[in-house]
Amino acid sequence: MSRALGLAHAGYGGDLKDWRSRTRSGAGTPRQSPRSGSPPRHRHRLGAIAESGPRVFGERRRPRDRSSRRAQDACSDPAPVELPRRAAGEDGQVRRRGPAAGPPRPGGIVLLAVLAVLALTGGAGCGAKTAAREKPPTPAAAAATGPAPAASSYRVGTADILVTEPVGITPRRGTVPAHEGRRLPTSLWFPVAGPPATADTPAARPLAGSFPLVVFAHGFAVTPQYYEPLLHELAAHGYVVAAPLFPISGAGPAGAPRGDDMFRQPGDITAVITTLTRLAGRPAGTWSGAVDPARVAIAGHSDGAESVAAMVLYPGDGDRRVAAAVVLSGRAFPPPVPTGAPIPTLVEHGLADTTDPAPRGHALFEQLSEPKAYLTEVAGSHTSAADGSAPADRQVRACIVAFLDTVLKRRRAALAGLNRLASTPGSTALQVTGRLLPG
């Protein structure tokens, strides 16, 4: 049963205040948008409901045909083309970015689409629906250090590509009308030649090491660059990381971000997987041999975590190429929920998360099939795993690396490291159900 049909049968087509209403507080960065006086937040699950109602284009969402998806790459092989800072570029172009480069500016990208009849101005959130980014709490437990994370192995390079997907539609945003197709400015972090360094290297060529691919889904009203600490860490340990900027829920493009397009984000993630594996499969070119198509993981935070969880739980959103998943600060879906695919999944949640309290994350963990792991950060906030600087925050990011090393690289030492890093009294705790490493 698709998510849209499941929600319709569950009777969630009307008032959803019982499971989507939130209150937010604070002020500050563009990470979140003010929601004073706005209706209850309805994240991408409400998008699924809207999909089952009247539409301007076509009928209710059809299952995706993997063989017919034509996610088109945006890389120029063999040499990338430098783009003006404020230009989004056309297909076939790539922009390098340095450590000081800001979030991608989709200036020339036409973000068009059809809105379903529900005019959801509320959107969904990476955390709070206010203008402030949640600050990590600082109780004594945050000082717990535990075992030291493993040292990184690679220098990290960065680049931006444009992924285009002709299938689907993009809703109206601000003054920009709707159009068919999806355009996804995608930020990349990847291993490059040279000794490990804390700073990114913007102009290096990716190593042809057939590295595992991690596609990362950002939360509400932010860009992929917000997750630099985590995504750099993954690339430094031997992963190619691709993080698309979603056209409606992400920050940056004209008009306020919204959450009514999130049910389309699993398709965006699939398009990015297709693009990177296709580029890596070419006999020559910048990305030739850089990605192992047999080792693909998806990860996400907050609302992006829900897109990832939907790909694990709902067959209509799934992608058979996905071998592992990481869900950071997510929350459970309303019943009925399918059994889901047996994809090894790590669910992380902080006990000090006031945006999505930890019981909601554990409820999502319970909905997943085995094998699965639930990682608790005792002093963790809604965002600390992504951007926190406390020792426990770095330890959680090391746990994420260890989980992926266990599942995608089949390293028994990584599993032992995960158990060690995630079992520090007063700092982290781990619950595992099923075998993360078969055999």
List pLDDT tens digits, range 307-337.
999 999 999 999 999 999 999 999 999 999 9
Pinpoint the alpha helices (H) of 212-288.
228-236, 265-280
Instruction: Say which residues have a Cβ less than 8 Å from residue 100's Cβ, sequence separation at least 6.
Output: none
Strand partners, 326: 299, 346
* C-beta separation of 329 from 355 below 8 A: yes
The pLDDT value recorded for residue 147 is 63
For 292, which DSSP code?
A: E
The pLDDT tens digits for 210-250 are 999 999 999 999 999 999 999 999 999 999 999 999 999 99
Q: Which two tokens stand for residue 375?
A: 């990682």
C-alpha span between 37 and 57 (Å, rounded): 31
| Strand-strand pairing, 155-170 and 179-192 | antiparallel
Mean pLDDT of 83-110: 33
The pLDDT value recorded for residue 435 is 96
Smallest CA-to-CA distance from 361 within 342, 392, 385 is with 385
Task: Name which residue leads in pLDDT, 294 or 3.
Answer: 294
The pLDDT tens digits for 108-126 are 332 223 223 223 333 334 4
| Strand-strand pairing, 179-192 and 240-244 | antiparallel
Overall pTM surpassing 0.85 (yes/no):
no
The pLDDT tens digits for 18-47 are 222 322 222 233 333 333 333 333 333 433
Residue 189 has pLDDT above 80, yes or no: yes
C-alpha span between 93 and 91 (Å, rounded): 6
For residue 155, the SS3 value is strand
Q: How confident is the model at residue 438 (pLDDT cuts 50, 70, 90)?
A: confident
C-alpha span between 108 and 106 (Å, rounded): 6
Residue 102 has pLDDT above 90, yes or no: no
Residue 51 identity: E
The pLDDT tens digits for 370-426 are 999 999 999 999 999 999 999 999 999 999 999 999 999 999 999 999 999 999 999
Q: Which two tokens stand for residue 407?
A: 């599942």
Give the largest Cα separation in the chain, rounded: 56
What whole-number percentage of the chain has pLDDT above 90? 62
Residue 93 has pLDDT above 70, yes or no: no
Instruction: Say which residues have a Cβ less than 8 Å from residue 311's Cβ, sequence separation at least 6.
Output: 266, 269, 298, 317, 318, 319, 322, 325
The pLDDT value recorded for residue 150 is 67
Strand partners, 328: 301, 348
Residue 129 has pLDDT above 50, yes or no: no
Smallest CA-to-CA distance from 94 within 181, 193, 163, 155 is with 163
Q: What share of residues in the chain are helix, strand, coil (percent, to 5)? A: 25, 20, 55
For residue 2, the SS3 value is coil
Q: Which two tokens stand for residue 91?
A: 């297909």
Average pLDDT of the chain? 74
C-alpha span between 331 and 334 (Å, rounded): 10
**Domain boundaries, given as residue ranges, for the chain:** 3-433
Smallest CA-to-CA distance from 47 within 260, 294, 329, 236 is with 260
Residue 68 has pLDDT above 90, yes or no: no
* C-beta separation of 306 from 331 below 8 A: yes
CATH fold label, 3-433: Rossmann fold (3.40.50)
The answer to whether the Cα torsion of 386, 402, 299, 276 is positive or negative is: positive
Cis peptide before 371 (omega within 30 of 0): yes
Residue 82 identity: E
C-alpha span between 251 and 242 (Å, rounded): 17
The count of residues in the chain is 439
Instruction: Find how far residue 103's CA is from the centre of its chain.
Output: 16
